[in-house]
Amino acid sequence: MTGRAFSSDSISYLTQREAAEVDEMLMGPAPGFSVDQLMELAGLSVASAVAEVYAPAEFNRVLAICGPGNNGGDGLVAARHLRHFGYAPAVCYPKRAQKPLFTGLVTQLESLSVPFVSVEDLLGGELLNGFDLVLDAMFGFSFCGAPRAPFDELVRLVACLSRDKAERDGKSPVVVAVDVPSGWDVEEGDVSGEGIKPDMLVSLTAPKLCAKRFSGAHHFLGGRFVPPAVAEKFNLCLPPYPGSAMCVRIGKAPQVDISALRVNYVSPELLEEDVEPDPMDQFRKWFDDALAAGIREPNAMALSTSGKDGKPSSRMVLLKGVDQDGFVWYTNYESRKAREISENPNAAIMFFWDSLNRQVRVEGAVEKVSKEESEQYFYSRPRGSQIGALVSKQSSVIPGRHVLAQLYKQLEEKFSDGSGIPKPGNWGGYRLKPRLYEFWQGQPSRLHDRLQYTPDETEGKKGWRVVRLAP
């Protein structure tokens, strides 16, 4: 019934030879990829990984240093995607490959007005300090020996950069290595001690052995194109990519200073004259915005209740209906929340729509929905969830997961003829009838917009009064 989480200890690392063999197979008769395809996906995954860690607002000026082989090609592709992501990349590409694939990549960058800088420009002065991020795409898994000119100087320059970081003013660029940190032995790592010391490594296809020696903060895997046949042939154990992501973090979780975690919200102004007179209409508008923004489960809301002891408790529930009478969700009528609601009908719900910088608070009294309404919803649920509702004595203490699995199996067998699963008597909906709403939208310097609605009656006509609250 359940899958086990991927353990980063079990991930495969490739020798230099295996890396070349995987490459060869990928471009062999089956699966028959072209180098252009793989390079495009590799470069896109590098750009995605960079964007996941280093936001364009803070790390805007990127220098991609590109080598003579395919690692350099990945750098050219990544620079193009970074440009589209809102970065301002420049490229240093001293030994240009003459194949159409590479000349095309250069033309594409030129057509985006991405500047090319020379080695002399970089070596000559402080130019490197003008960048926020250096992308090392000099050498990948075919590197061997010591870097030859002009890359010897470039590797030295980037290596100094990372080495001296502690002594500089903290403004020197971060370094992101593509597949293999340049100057490193593909298997043994930085044996000469003269390789670069990246802050981030994006391994492609599968990490190479040298990645075991990587001690920077961020290790990602990209190159989401390995078909099962190739993975099986090379016995590759690779982590799953989340959702539609082009990259996945494979290193340790980043160390962060929790107190420094903050986002400066920037949104359009939320003005009194722009909101709907009826807060339910305003809620629907914002809910539609949340749907359009692709927020996962925009109907997830925090529900706070408190029983007769006055001690509040909160949990998430899913909004399953909204109409002029209020907000509906479904649950177990013998759960903790149900007990608290039976003792005190006053409750609060809250939505937070992260990518929109929006929060909605609603307060009011709660009552059960009719049995018919609960039944109608119950029978619309997936069969598994219906059985789940029968299985779970919500909020009661149970000895272990096995109890749930056992009962689930029994009930599955009991109803294996496909007959309808009856709604348990202790399962149903609640409706919160609003008497207060607050629409919050995040703004810079914590000077957020807050518009609060409370019921109002003017000249016998029922409506809502809107006031602005200090943030």
Ligand X SMILES: Cc1ncc(COP(=O)(O)O)c(C=O)c1O
Ligand Y SMILES: NC(=O)C1=CN([C@@H]2O[C@H](COP(=O)(O)OP(=O)(O)OC[C@H]3O[C@@H](n4cnc5c(N)ncnc54)[C@H](OP(=O)(O)O)[C@@H]3O)[C@@H](O)[C@H]2O)[C@@H](O)CC1
Ligand Z SMILES: Cc1cc2nc3c(=O)[nH]c(=O)nc-3n(C[C@H](O)[C@H](O)[C@H](O)COP(=O)(O)O)c2cc1C
- In the range 331-370, which residues lie near ligand Z by CB under 6 A? 331-332, 335-337
Of these residues, 446, 450, 465, 468, which one is catalytic?
Answer: 446
Any contact of residue 430 with ligand X (CB under 6 A)?
no
Maximal CA-CA distance, the chain: 88
Q: Is 146 labelled a binding residue?
A: yes
Q: Smaller CB distance to K ion: residue 220 or 377?
A: 220
Range list of H helices, 198-335: 228-233, 279-292
Among 82, 67, 73, residue whose Cα is nearest residue 35: 73
Amino acid letter for position 174: V
Would you say the C-alpha torsion 326, 331, 336, 339 has a positive or negative sign?
positive
Question: Does residue 83 have an active-site annotation?
Answer: no
Q: Smaller CB distance to ligand Z: residue 184 or 330?
A: 330
150: cis peptide before it, omega within 30°?
A: yes
Number of residues that bind K ion (CB under 5 A): 4
Closest approach, Cβ 338 to ligand Z, in A, equals 7
Question: Nearest to ligand Y by Cβ — which residue?
Answer: 140
Q: Pick the piece of the chain touching ligand Y (CB under 6 A) from 16-24, 244-252, 400-408, 456-464.
A: 16-24
- In the range 33-92, which residues lie near ligand Y by CB under 6 A? 38-39, 42, 67-74
Range list of H helices, 164-209: none
Distances from the Cα of 88 to the Cαs of 112, 239, 438, in angstroms? 10, 31, 40
Any contact of residue 316 with ligand Z (CB under 6 A)?
yes
**Which residues partner with 326 through β-bridges?**
323
Other CB atoms within 10 A of residue 425 CB = 10
- In the range 329-348, which residues lie near ligand X by CB under 6 A? 330-331
Among ligand Z, ligand X, ligand Y, none, partner that 183 touches (CB below 5 to 8 angstroms by kind) = none
Q: Pick the piece of the chain touching ligand Y (CB under 6 A) from 81-89, 139-147, 274-282, 400-408.
A: 139-147
Rg (CA), the chain: 29
Any contact of residue 182 with K ion (CB under 5 A)?
yes
Amino acid letter for position 246: M
Amino acid letter for position 26: L
Q: Is 74 labelled a binding residue?
A: yes
Any contact of residue 127 with ligand Z (CB under 6 A)?
no
**Which residues partner with 461 through β-bridges?**
458
Q: Pick the piece of the chain touching ligand Z (CB under 6 A) from 48-56, 96-104, 217-225, 312-320.
A: 312-320
Range list of H helices, 85-191: 100-111, 119-124, 151-163
**Which residues partner with 62 through β-bridges?**
89, 133
Q: How far apart are CA 143 and CA 185, in angstroms?
A: 7
- In the range 141-160, which residues lie near ligand Y by CB under 6 A? 141-148, 151
Over the window 117 to 156, marking each residue x when it contacts K ion by CB under 5 A and - when it does not, the resulting string is: -------------------x--------------------
Q: How far apart are CA 63 and CA 432, in angstroms?
A: 55
Any contact of residue 385 with ligand X (CB under 6 A)?
yes
Say if CB 83 and CB 111 are below 8 A apart: no
Kindly tell me which residue out of 157, 300, 322, 350 binds ligand Z, with binding defined by CB under 6 A: 300
Report the interface residues with K ion, using CB under 5 A: 136, 177-178, 182
Binding site for K(+): which residues?
A: 71, 136, 182
Interface with ligand Y (CB under 6 A): 19, 22-23, 26, 38-39, 42, 67-74, 139-148, 151, 178-180, 204-205, 223
Q: Which residues are catalytic?
A: 446
